[in-house]
Structure formats: structure tokens, C-alpha cells
A and B are shown apart, each in its own frame.
Chain A
Amino acid sequence: MIKTENLHFAYPTGGDVLNGIDLDIGDSEFVAIMGENGAGKTTLIKHFNGLHKPTKGRVSIDNIDTRKRSVASISKDVGLVFQNPDHQLFCETVEEEVAFSLKNFGYDTETIDRRTNAILETLDLSQYAESSPFTLSGGERKRVALASVLVWNPKHVILDEPTIGQDYQQKDRLRNFILQLVSQRKTVVMVTHDVEFVAECKPRVVLLSAGRVAGDGPAREILTDDVLLNGCSLIRPQISSLMHSLRDLDVSQDIIDVYSARACLVKAYEKVRKCQ
């Protein structure tokens, strides 16, 4: 469980970034943190593995205060995948890159080999095992970064902007992979601006604005609330906008994904046809 109580944080060089955040993220919950640029999303998730310590308030992971543990120790439970993979890749091969964290955590050679091969297979990276990570495309490098964190099987997975630089097919794979993690009872917290991706995944959505929680609820509820979304410089997903523009047809207004929209529109069409 990830819990923040009255979390305040300020960088030494600037003003307050987080202004009293209270958040409870339960085990195996899937949460998307959204908000305008500079709202404090990345700063918030850096508290989850102890990279930042609160200037006021408390952050606890599985009921242990992050102040009482080192980053390396918290990281065993909380895997944080950074936004830009180029900030972490340094090894000669993808295989070495993925194995780096396992070596840091002191796993034996056999476990390192087994886990590395398994995660490369899962993320469709086996063919690049011997390649240099620097020769891969942006999307592939992003997957290497993801593999290098998921390889030690952390209980909580934190993803910072995972969809940036991914083509549609990769996004689809990523969505399936995240849902698979959730089904394996892992907590997944994802920071993103991508409303379409969130609409397809339908997690719990936490909206941040100026370092405060502006909204918290199911994706269907939050992503159809124009007042809340406008306040955080976000817009509805396209499907939700379509349903909103067809409100005269008496279609449901809390639909945000293609499949539900299709079913609803077929129903509305049949109703109109019957009336004719």
C-alpha cells in the first residue's frame, strides 16, 4: 500500500511543488496520475521510492515511512520507470542493461540469467539481447528501461509517461502488459497526459493541479467532467466528446471507450429506426 498524508514538498531552489497531498493507493490497484505541466506529478512519484523525502507530512510504503529506508531498499518493493530511457542506459548490451539492477540487489548468476531472459521475452526484446541499447529506436529503448525495472519483480510499479514515443501498436501492447501486471496483483501507478490511453485502460484517475489533488475517482467519472478537466489543462477523450455531441440522442454520457460507445450507438440507432 502506498500512502501519503498531508504531503508537502519544496525543491531547495524554488517554491512549494506539493501542497498537502493525501492519497491512499491500495495493493493491486491501477492508478493514473494526470494534470497540467508542473502540477507535481513526477515529484509526487519520486516520493514513492524515497528519491524525495517530504518537507512536511508523511509517505509510507506498506506502512513503513520512506524516511526510515534507503532508496535502494525501497526500490526492491517499488520499481520506478523514468520518462526518458536515455537517463539510465549505459551498458554495452541490452542483456547487461537489464541485469544491472539484479546485480545491485545481489541476486545469484542463475537467477539473473533466468529473470533477464524471461523479461526480454515478455517485452519482445530477446532479439536485441546482444545489441547495444544505444542503437535501438526510442520506443525500444523505452521498453529496455521498462524491462530493467520489471526484471526484479517489484510489488509496486510506477511508470512516468510510459506512452511517450510509442507507436499505436506498442501502446496497445503496453496497455495489455499493464493490465497483465494488475491481474498479477501488482500496484501500477502511471503518470501520463495521454487521455486516450487512460480511457482505454480505465484505471482510477487522480488529477493534480498546483500540487494539490483536484479530483480522484473512476476514469469514467473524471474524464467526463469538463470543469475538472479544464482546471487541469486536459480535455475529454475523443469518444467521450463524440458521445457528448450526440447527447440529444439520449446516449449515455459516461462512456469513454470504443467498445462501450459502439454498443450504446447501436442501441440508439435501433431506437431511432423503430421510431421511424
Chain B
Amino acid sequence: MSIKMFDGFKFTRLSTPIHNMDPRAKFIQTIGFFVAALIFSNVYALLAIFLAQIPLVFVARSTKRWLKSMKGGAMLAILIFVMNFVTGTTFVFALSMTIRFLALISSFSIFFMTTSPDDLGLALQSMRIPYTLCFTFTTAVRLVPTMAVDAQTVVDAQKSRGLELDKGNLLKRIRNYVPILIPLIVNAIRRSVELAEALESRAFGTTEKRESLVTLKMNRLDYVTIVATLTLLAIVVYVSLNVTLPTPEIPIRVPDIWPWKI
């Protein structure tokens, strides 16, 4: 998984209808895609959910970065496909699970690429979530690019000590990431402790009731998005319960003699 994948989840300020939408409407839309992708396991339906997101990517003028998130998730998607297939499911089911994963990544990628952490914080506050939790969440989102830079530096430092990440079999390759993950986790913990101390030093949490300079206001597009999402979600639930969707017939399966088949 490439570190550049994080670019596909990084907010960039642009003026597009998707960027200008209310974060609450965008969040409901994302959850809509998320729930729909989890409800269906039919390959056509999952493909439709995935493809339905592509126009949004174009409108948000974020195609390149979205592709990065897809490219970054490709390795994991292949792993999901292989693991499903070799453990005895059909080719079509393995494919469905892979498309489901890509649809989920895509929906969150679009949300985070087009929603500023500040707006996200405001949206959470407007849902009456305690400010400390809102702040923690937005700070975590804000720190993703910093962590990505850190991760790249750690990779560079370990490569300079002769570590070859792509060397060896699958197990060895996974173990190769231990020297990357430990410094990253240790640094993240150190940074969070330092951040907590810096916040406390600047009197964080002393004001009980906070007021915000900016307040969120939904416009027509936001209401249309929410209504459309909820309607489509209702249709999705109805179809999943009452309609049998067609499934392509591809009778490819792993032979029964494979010992790890379940």
C-alpha cells in the first residue's frame, strides 16, 4: 500500500458544488453509499454503487487524487479477492467483496477530499457531540497528511539502512513493515502527548460553553441530496429484501483438494 494513497483522503480547498455542500449532507450521502454497499452482496448492485460515485468525483474536480486512493487500495483489494477466492467462495463472490471494498474506500475518499476538518468539526458540534470529542476527531483527520509525511521519512530512513520492503515472500513482506510501523506508532503517541500538554498550557477546556464564529446553513442542494439519499436507501432496503437480482454465471472455483478451503 503506497503512502501516496493518503493524498486521496486529504482535503483540498476548491470551489465546486460538492466542496460547497453542507458537511452534514455530505456525511449522510457517504453513509448512504456505505450502508448500500454493506447491504448488497450482488456484483451488479455493488458495481452500480461504485460507478454512481464517479460523477461526484468529476464534479469535485478531484479525479487524480481519487485515483490515488483507488491505486493505494488496489493492493488490499487484490488481497481481499485472493483470500476470498482461495478459501472456497466463487469467483463472482470474491469479485463482489473486492468491489464492495473499493466502493467503501471511494465514498470516504470523496467525503474527506471535499470536506474541510473545520467544517467537519462544526457538523459534529451541531449534532450536539461534546466539543472535546469533535476536536479529537478533527485533529485526527488534520494529522493524516502529517502522518503520511512521517511515514515517508521513516520508509526513507529504513531503506537507507538496507531495508528492502518488496523483498521476500508474502509473510516476509508483511514483516518488513514492522520497522516502519513501530517508529510511526511511537511518534504518533509522543506527538499526541505533546499536543495534549500544549493544549492544556493554552487553557483548552476552560470554557464550558463555546460559541462559533461560523454557523452551518443548508441550502437547496443539501436538502435535495439528503432526500435523494434517504429515498435511494429505502429503495435499496426494499430491493434487497424483495427482489432477487441476477448473478453472472462464472463457474470458477478453487479445486476441492486445497487444504485451506473452508
A contact set with B: CB distance below 8 Å: 12-13, 46, 49, 51, 70-72, 75-76, 79-80, 82, 84, 86-90, 100-101, 104-105, 134, 148-149, 152
Contacts and interface: CB of A to CB of B under 8 A. Distances in A.
A66 to B, nearest CB: 13
Interface residues of B, number: 21
Interface of B: 4, 7, 150, 153-154, 156-164, 178-179, 182-183, 186-187, 190
Given A86-B186, A86-B190, A87-B153, A80 B164 contact: no
Contact of A82 (B160, B162, B190): B160
Contacts of A149: 160-161
A251 B187 CA distance: 50
Nearest to A79: B160
Given A87-B153, A88-B157, A104 B162 contact: yes
B159 A75 contact: yes
Given A46-B156, A152-B162, 16 more contacts: A49-B160, A71-B159, A75-B160, A76-B162, A79-B160, A82-B160, A86-B187, A87-B153, A87-B157, A88-B157, A88-B161, A88-B183, A100-B161, A100-B179, A104-B161, A148-B161
A100 B156 CA distance: 15
A83 B156 CA distance: 12
Contacts, number: 63
B163 A104 contact: yes
A224 to B, nearest CB: 35
Nearest to A101: B161
Nearest to B187: A86
A160 B98 CA distance: 43
Nearest to A74: B160
Given A51-B160, A72-B164, A75-B160, A90 B153 contact: no
B162 A105 contact: yes
Contacts of B183: 86-90
- Which 4 A-B residue pairings sit nearest by Cβ, starting from the closest? A104-B162, A90-B182, A101-B161, A88-B157
Contacts of B7: 13
Contacts of A152: 162
Contacts of A51: 156, 159-160
5 contacts: A70-B164, A79-B160, A82-B157, A100-B161, A104-B164
Nearest to B161: A101
B158 to A, nearest CB: 6
A101 B182 CA distance: 16
Nearest to B158: A88
Contacts of A105: 162
Contacts of A75: 159-162
Contacts of A148: 161
Contact of A90 (B150, B159, B162, B178): B178
Nearest to B183: A90
A57 B163 CA distance: 27
Contacts of A100: 161, 179
A87 B159 contact: no
A61 B182 CA distance: 32
Contacts of A13: 7
Nearest to B181: A90
A149 B160 CA distance: 9
Highest count of chain A CB atoms <10 Å: which of B150, B162, B163: B162
Highest count of chain A CB atoms <10 Å: which of B150, B160, B163: B160
A148 B162 CA distance: 11
Contacts of B182: 90
A80 B178 CA distance: 21
Nearest to A49: B160
Contacts of A87: 150, 153-154, 157, 183, 187
A72 B150 CA distance: 20
A82 B152 CA distance: 13
Highest count of chain B CB atoms <10 Å: which of A13, A86, A89, A148: A86
